[in-house]
Amino acid sequence: MTQRPDLLAFFNGRFMPQSQAAEEMKQAGFQSVGGFYDNERTFSGRIFKLDAHLARLYRGLTYTKLDAGMTPEEMAATTGKVLEANLPHLKQGEEFLVTQIVSPRPGTPQGSVANVVVYCQFLDLGLYAASYSRGVRIVTPVTYAVPPKAQDLSRGALSFPLMMDAEGNITECQGGNFMFVRGGHIDLPDRRNVLAGISMETVLELAESLAIPVDEGDYSLSDVYDADEAFVTGTRFCMVPVASVNGLRIKGSAGGPVTHRLLEAWKQVVGVDFMRQSLEQAGFGGGGAASQG
């Protein structure tokens, strides 16, 4: 196996190899507890929606009065320098996950400048190859009201826990946002009860451009069981169809017409066929990763 290069990172005002940054973070007693982080993925080496991600990061910092010691614009510039330095190591069809972490410095009073680290890591696109074609499994921490004779037809697929609020309404997945489709309409859990992701917002933008209606409200598991399609959104994979919920197969388990329209529109926006990228990295198929037209 080819050894990965030691990428460049940023830690507390200095650019350095990631191995050095990891050692200095250890010596500084760096910990993410009580801090905030965000990450973005690249498409053909370009970061997608960096400003939106950093705006979300800085909302958390402002709320907790955690001082990053730099403005959002300076954080964006620093992130750009880290990415630019690492781009020569990015091979055809590969992408980065870019991360910013702002964390309190141990032993310093509240309001002191925090630890800040920015780094890149190679994104394992192949992990999601099967999910695009076969869908993912959704499970709830406490399963109830599952229709009889439910048959799980998605064994071996990636799984996402789906959370619910105290009233039994679905909210979000661990690691992503959840939406489903009935009668050509996207059903979106009430955004007051979820952490609205940038990928979720992208889906809503695409839905508006495609004139796909979106209904937002409170939905139960029984509503989800009646879905024509469902999907999960997240930074690393954009969006993947849902094959089953608590073992019950979703009608459009490999992605129905609304899911496919959204995926195609997303590829057009970023100029990359990220589904093909994923398949190629997993060792399937051939051809370039750039979207054609």
Residues 81, 95: Cα–Cα separation, whole Å:
16
Report pLDDT for 142: 59
Q: Mean pLDDT for each 10-residue chunk of the chain (293 residues)?
A: 85 96 88 84 97 96 92 98 97 96 82 89 93 92 48 59 92 94 96 92 98 97 95 96 92 86 97 94 60 34
Q: For the chain, how long is the longest CA-to-CA vector?
A: 59
Together in a domain, 158 and 67: no
Using DSSP, state whether 80 is helix, strand or coil.
helix
Together in a domain, 132 and 115: no
Together in a domain, 151 and 222: yes
Report pLDDT for 152: 43
The verdict on residue 216 lying in a domain is yes
Residues 94, 65: Cα–Cα separation, whole Å:
37
Query: CA separation (Å) from 243 to 107, 189, 202?
Result: 48, 19, 22
Together in a domain, 164 and 100: no
Report pLDDT for 141: 75
The verdict on residue 290 lying in a domain is no
Using DSSP, state whether 26 is helix, strand or coil.
helix
Report pLDDT for 2: 67
Together in a domain, 162 and 25: no
Could you give the number of structural domains in the chain? Answer: 2
The verdict on residue 3 lying in a domain is no
- Domain range for 91: 8-123
**Number of Cα atoms under 13 Å in the Cβ half of residue 260:** 8
Report pLDDT for 115: 93
Report pLDDT for 280: 92
Report pLDDT for 255: 82
